[in-house]
Amino acid sequence: MSAGGVEQTTLFISHAGADRAWAEWVAWQLEDAGYTTELDHWDWAAGDNVIVRMNEALERGRMVAIFSASYFDPARWTTEEWTAVLAARENLVPVRIDTTQAPPMLRAILAPSLVDLDEVAARRALLEAVDGPRRPHASPTFPGSLDPGRLRQFGGSGPRLPGSLPRVWNIPIRNIGFAGRDDLLVRVRRSLTKTFPAVAFHGRGGVGKTQLAIEYAHRFSGDYEFAWWVRCEEPALIAEQLAALATKIGAAPAGVAVPEACEALAEELRTRSRWLLIFDNAEDPAALTSHLPSGVGHTLITTRAPAWQSHATGIEVGVFDRGESIYLLRTRVPSLSRSDAGELAQTLDDLPLALVQAAALLDEGMAITQYRQLLSESISEVLDEGRPEAYPLSLAGQIRLSAQSLSRADQGAAVLLNACSLLAPEPFPLHACVRSVSDASATLAGLIAHPLAARRALGALARHNLARVHNGSVHVHRLTQAVVRDQLGACERTNATRAAEVLLISASPGNAADPATWGAWADLVPHLLALSPTDFVTDEGRDAACQACWYLMDRGQAETVLPRLQSIYQVWKEQLGPDHHDTLWAAQCLARAYSETRNHVLARELDEDTLNRRRRLLGEDHRDTLAAAANLAVRLAALKNTAEARKLGEDTLSGQRRVLGEDHQDTLTTASNLANRLSELDDVEAARKLGEDILTRRRRVLGHDHPDTLISGHNLEIWLAQLGHVEAARKLGEDILARRQRVLGHDHPDTLATASNLANRLGRSGAIEESKELAEDVLARQRQVLGHHHPSTLITAFTLATALAALDDNQTARNLYEDTLYWQRRVLGDDAPETLRTASNLGVILTVLNEITAARALGEETLSRQRRVLGLDHPETLASSHNLMIRLMRSGEISAARELGKETLLRRQRVLGPVHPDTMRTATLLHELQDDGTND
């Protein structure tokens, strides 16, 4: 203790962000009483390690904890603070500022309450809590020489008790339903007290900027001698409101002229420190600049425009986070379930005003199902209902008013807004609009041709808060889109649709198969998918629509894009006719989508029709006709008409070499497909030779990293492995994988296919652990990208199961084999080679697990199918025959095992040669059977 009886250890003020005003009041009173305090936002600098500073503060002294509902929120740092002090059995000094019950561990600690006390009584209760009630040990100091307190030396009387209002006060009534925003309020307070005494809240309409300003004023009312609200919708009336304040605080006498009163107010504010001015809905900085005060008091500005950097610290007010949205909805509509509240918040994009309006309708008795239906049918009309009293306009009304104002201010921006209202609620890259479009309107052509005009339009959209603008992209919110769309008349809608198509054409980067265009396509695809097929009225627009679908199919999303292509094809077929080149381009895309979703019959029918039409319209040797023939050859192969596919592929390749040349991309694509057919017909050596030629040409023409080049490398790797060149295949596979990861990304289907093959090669070369690790990674990615039951996913699952079996994790391998077999039978069919391969391996695992009866039954079925599908002499058929021989022997059927062994040995000797390892294994086993008929 000091001579004066005040403890000299530091008092650390522990508080929740929502209670910052109370924390400041407590710290002030304790400092004023001679204590040394530590308060995070007073004493900690930007960049400090919060945990370290907190630990140091707790080591230096006691902790004053401000108990409240927010303080006991488990997600806050305060939990760590009070539990650390309690665990260390240190002295905890709590005071309560609301009636929230403390956690059970703290209920035994006496926590004096400051609730409903006036400031004098609250200060006394606080000081007694810190030092306890006591009689003086020495004579009290003579009042004439009392230390005025460390903080009072700087002027002012200190903050009043939080919640008490100053005498001069015209702030709107507090919204008792205000929810969330604690962190934002703390940020505002810190900015005003630490950075610059003026803050501008900016953000789109409906995010609650005005409500935030009102809440700030009420929450921190104890820190101000007066607070004044100035409405700025009409700039001409600002001076009159400031003059009224001058009279109210005695800075100017009643009846004095407005300019003189404003001047007197400005002088008064320069000499005071504890005042708050709030300028609400101030859209034009130039109209407010002359009215902004100077001095160390605080100024808040609410605005939709972000351009206040010269006058205030800008703080953007965004939408609620999901937790805040759910809290608001369920507070106002207690019957609403958490899941329904979350779903509704997502639909309304967490926009506070939209949530409040929704809550008003639901609270009046509207069922959540009915509200959802109304949202889907007429969202603009719904956003007109349920306006709270604190808002002069509904959300829809605000958006309509802003759109009308924009139309008067900047016609180009209005055209851009209407067009974007039909696109996706994603950023549109206006900066990418570089191609001129012949029949674009003069206004839109000007925006595309002149960057400064585009910049002005974007600036106008941002100022009217109808879009977010960033790096030349414009992002119109989904709810704004709905309201703008709904107010378009028939003629305006037609113009907006045409403008949207023009923007998409102008931004279209070209061939979606070219890697150089992929970044641009990623930004553009959502917008091309948003327009209806009927909205594309030009060849350029329809080409862009198909290119977007092609881009997605290249990324394994054929199933997603299939309904879109079906709609495009049907609409254009009806509008343009079946022979129109855009209809045929759509047919080509749709056939690919059918093929990649394993509907090979429809794909073949569509490609046959396309080929016949192109032959009739363009002739046999036209490039598009030859491309259609090449596509049909692929479809025939998918339907196992391999010989027919090979013949059509050879004829097409001959025509393309003659018409286009041997190095043309179309020619090389057809040659690549033909090499696949040769492999499927077991002429792997011919496939390898053709594949090496294709790879060499593509590397020279397209470069080593082009996707088509990488396809050739991927295929050649497979054929090298099939021909026994395992090391060469592994090296090529590693090179292709590294390039695909760099060019396509780690999750691209083609990258994953190469990685899957490499995992298989590693397993076959004995690197089992590496094979397992790679297969596990690939399988997880494929399930995420392609789905659990995609054929490529199932191939990787087979590889992983094989690695697990090789590592003697037989039960896990068995489970994975069984799951894979089940889905291969459903997706590929019972007789697919991949299905039979999995069945064969599962039989081996069942044998290892001593489930001989099940293994034998599966082995007999698999062998029967392989003999029919693959042939009696196929290596995989012979492997199954060898395995069945073992199961027969294990079942005691030695004679049957011996007969099957003899047949298998003869066929392996003829097909593989007498010294092949598989032949030798069968010979050894047969020899053992002939010795005693009992050995395994």
Q: Concatenate the DSSP letters of all residues of 464-520 into one string.
A: TTSSEEETTEEE--HHHHHHHHHT--HHHHHHHHHHHHHHHHHH--S-TTSGGGHHH
As a whole number of angstroms, the distance between CA 52 and CA 532 comes to: 58
Q: What share of the chain is helix, strand, coil (3-state, %, to 5)?
A: 65, 5, 30
Q: Are strands 36-38 and 10-14 parallel, antiparallel or unpaired?
A: parallel
Q: Is a pLDDT exceeding 70 seen at residue 90?
A: no
Residue 585: other Cβ atoms inside 10 A = 22
Closest CA to 402 of 283, 270, 489: 283
Question: 568-602: per-residue pLDDT in tens?
Answer: 999 999 999 999 999 999 999 999 999 999 899 99
Q: What is the pLDDT of residue 159?
A: 55
Q: How far apart are the first and last CA of the chain?
A: 91
Q: Any bridge partners for residue 64, and if so which? A: 13, 93
Q: Cα–Cα distances in Å, from 789 out to 480, 874, 912? A: 40, 27, 35
* Mean pLDDT, the chain, whole residue set: 86
Residue 703 contacts by C-beta under 8 Å, 6 or more apart in sequence? 709
Please, are residues 630 and 673 in contact by the beta-carbon 8 Å criterion? yes
Q: What is the pTM of this model?
A: 0.67
Determine the residue type at 145: S
- pLDDT score of 42: 77
Task: Give 9's DSSP letter.
Answer: S
Topology match between the domains 10-138 and 168-316 = yes
Per DSSP, 233 falls in state S
Within 8 A by CB and 6+ apart from 121, the residues are: none
pLDDT at 7: 46
Handedness of CA 342, 347, 350, 353 (dihedral sign): negative
Going through 177-231 in order, the beta strands assigned E by DSSP cover 198-202, 226-231
Sign, CA dihedral 59-61-62-68, equals: negative
Give the Cα separation of 886 and 898 in Å (integer): 10
pLDDT band for 111, please (50, 70, 90 cuts). confident
Task: Report residue 47 as tokens.
Answer: 């960049």
Rounded average pLDDT over 812-829:
95
Closest to 622 measured CA to CA, from 632, 613, 609, 633: 613
Q: Residue 416, Cα to own-chain centre: how many angstroms?
A: 26
pLDDT value at position 81? 59
Strand order in the sheet with 168-169: 168-169, 226-231, 275-280, 298-303, 198-202, 313-316
The three-state secondary structure class of 65 is: strand
Type of residue numbered 557? Q
Whether the pLDDT of residue 415 is over 60: the answer is yes
**Residue type, position 797, single letter:** A
Strands 226-231 and 61-67: unpaired
Report residue 321 as tokens: 């986070």
Q: How far apart are CA 856 and CA 883, in angstroms?
A: 9
Task: Kindly report, residue by residue over 243-285, the tens digit of the pLDDT.
Answer: 999 999 888 998 899 999 999 999 989 888 889 999 998 877 8
Residues 6+ apart with CB under 8 A from 265: 242, 243, 245, 246, 249, 251, 252, 293
Check residue 689 and give its pLDDT: 96
Which pLDDT score, from 0 to 100, does residue 813 have? 95
Domain layout of the chain by residue ranges:
10-138, 168-316, 322-392, 393-507, 695-741
Question: For residue 761, what are the contacts with CB-CB under 8 A and spacing of at least 6?
Answer: 721, 726, 729, 730, 733
Q: Which residue has the tokens 């079942």?
A: 891
Count the residues in the chain. Answer: 936
- Cβ–Cβ contacts within 10 Å for residue 87, how many? 9
Q: Check residue 274 and report its DSSP letter.
A: S
Contacts 24+ apart (CB under 8 A), 108-112: 111/67
> Rounded CA gap, 223 and 191, in Å?
15
Please give the pLDDT value at position 384.
78
The per-residue pLDDT for 139 is: 47
Instruction: For residues 175 and 390, give the distance between their C-alpha atoms in angstroms, rounded to a whole number.
Output: 8
Q: In a 3-state reduction of DSSP, which class is residue 841?
A: helix
CA–CA gap between residue 368 and residue 364 (Å, rounded): 11
Question: Can you spell out the DSSP letters for 312-323?
Answer: SEEEE--PPPHH
Higher local confidence (pLDDT), 122 or 388? 122
More confident residue, 306 or 713: 713
Average confidence (pLDDT) over 656-676? 95
Q: What is the pLDDT of residue 30?
A: 85
Q: What is the 3-state secondary structure (H, E, C) of 861-902?
A: HHHHHHHHHCCCCCHHHHHHHHHHHHHHHHCCCHHHHHHHHH
476 and 421 Cβ atoms separated by less than 8 Å: yes
Beta carbons within 10 angstroms of residue 798's beta carbon: 25
Residues 212 and 184 sit within 8 Å (Cβ to Cβ): yes
pLDDT band at 1; cut points 50, 70, 90: very low
Q: Is the pLDDT of residue 386 over 50?
A: yes
Q: Which of 122-131, 530-539, 865-874 bottoms out in mean pLDDT, i.e. has the lowest?
A: 122-131
What pLDDT is recorded for position 133? 54
Lowest mean pLDDT among 122-126, 133-137, 611-615: 133-137
Whether the predicted pLDDT of 430 surpasses 80: yes
Strands 468-470 and 473-475: antiparallel
Give pLDDT, residue 152. 35
Give the integer Cα–Cα distance in Å for 369 and 934.
72
Asked if residues 113 and 125 have their Cβ atoms less than 8 Å apart, the reply is yes
Q: Is the pLDDT of residue 318 over 90?
A: no
Residue 164 DSSP code: P
Which stretches within 338-489 are classed as H helix? 338-347, 352-363, 368-382, 395-409, 411-420, 442-449, 451-463, 478-486
Right CATH for 10-138 from 3.30.565.10, 3.40.309.10, 3.40.50.10140, 1.10.150.120: 3.40.50.10140
Is the confidence at residue 711, as pLDDT, over 60? Answer: yes
What is the widest separation between alpha-carbon atoms in the chain?
126
Q: What is the pLDDT of residues 755-803, one digit of tens each?
A: 999 999 899 888 999 999 999 999 999 998 888 999 999 999 999 999 9
DSSP assignment, residue 159?
P
Q: For 317, how many CA atoms within 13 A lie in the half-sphere containing its CB? A: 29
Summarize pLDDT for 31-85 with one digit per residue, the tens.
877 788 888 777 776 566 666 677 776 677 788 888 888 787 765 555 655 565 5
Q: State mean pLDDT over 414-443.
A: 90
Buried b (16+ CB within 10 A) or exposed e, 546-557: bbbbbbbbbbbb
Sign of the Cα pseudo-torsion (395, 401, 404, 409, in order): negative
Matching CATH number, 168-316, of 3.40.50.300, 2.60.120.330, 3.40.50.720, 3.50.50.60 = 3.40.50.300
β strands within 57-128, DSSP E: 61-67, 92-96
Report the DSSP beta bridge partners of residue 473: 470
CA angle, 457 then 461 then 464, to 5°: 135
Q: Which residues of 94-118 are buried (b: 16+ CB within 10 A; e: fewer)?
A: bbbbeeeebeeebeeeebbebeeee
